Amino acid sequence: MDKKKLIRKSIIYILATALCEFGIACYYTARLGTDPISVFVEGISFHCDLTVGEISTICNIILGILLFLFDRDQFGVGTFLMILIAGPLIDLFYGFLLSCFPPETTALIIKTAILTAGILIYALGLGLTIQCDIGVGPFSFPPLFLTKVFRIDLKYTQIITDAMFFAIGFFLGGVYGLGTVVSVLLTGPLMTFFMKYTKAWVA
């Protein structure tokens, strides 16, 4: 890949990562159930004195190491970008949205709209990070690895791994709700749907 193309894809990857983290922040702001990975991260946060963003960064580092060890072809610049900026962006976007939509005074219909936007934006961003093909995000490693090993469609392996993260987060005490269930069922199908129409963006 030439330098100019790598720079362009890196910029798109950063924007896609920002979309992912903004989508996650929407889940948190709506207070109707976070995405499965956030349930997992939040569950961990109840057992240590760290922010959700800080724990997310630590989890990204651990999964990034596993990605390097077991699927090195998928490891790249994008992996480092995700590790560096994903956690801080969650804290930044969540703080901003919380100031705009305080949970005590925000109407349910507005919370539902925020959740819906979060589901769509998160799935779009996630698909774009994969399409960039400059290194997958650490949390995309499990579903992509299962797809590679078992030849199962990505939308199904995304559902499987989301359900696993949700189950672990549930037992750790993570807060969940209707939004979590919707995320488990729809993130994979929505992500692969968006990937069909965004492929040309990063070609």
pLDDT band at residue 110 under the 50/70/90 scheme = very high
**What are residue 44's phi and psi, to 5 degrees?**
-65, -40
Q: What is the pLDDT of residue 108?
A: 96
Q: Would the pLDDT of 22 be above 80?
A: yes
Q: What is the pLDDT of residue 4?
A: 87
Q: What is the pLDDT of residue 95?
A: 94
In angstroms, the CA 70 to CA 56 distance is 21
Q: Distances from the Cα of 30 to the Cαs of 18, 59, 103, 116, in angstroms?
A: 18, 24, 7, 9
Mean pLDDT of the chain, nearest integer: 93
In angstroms, the CA 81 to CA 62 distance is 14
pLDDT band at residue 48 under the 50/70/90 scheme = confident
Q: What is the pLDDT of residue 203?
A: 72
Q: What is the pLDDT of residue 147?
A: 95
pLDDT band at residue 127 under the 50/70/90 scheme = very high
Q: What is the pLDDT of residue 101?
A: 97
Query: Mean pLDDT over residues 176-187, rounded?
Result: 96
In angstroms, the CA 171 to CA 39 distance is 10
CB 138 within 8 A of CB 79: yes
pLDDT band at residue 3 under the 50/70/90 scheme = confident
Residue 121 identity: I
Total tally of structural domains belonging to the chain:
1
Can you give the residue range of the structural domain that contains 103?
3-202
Q: What is the pLDDT of residue 175?
A: 86
C-alpha Rg value of the chain to the nearest Å = 16
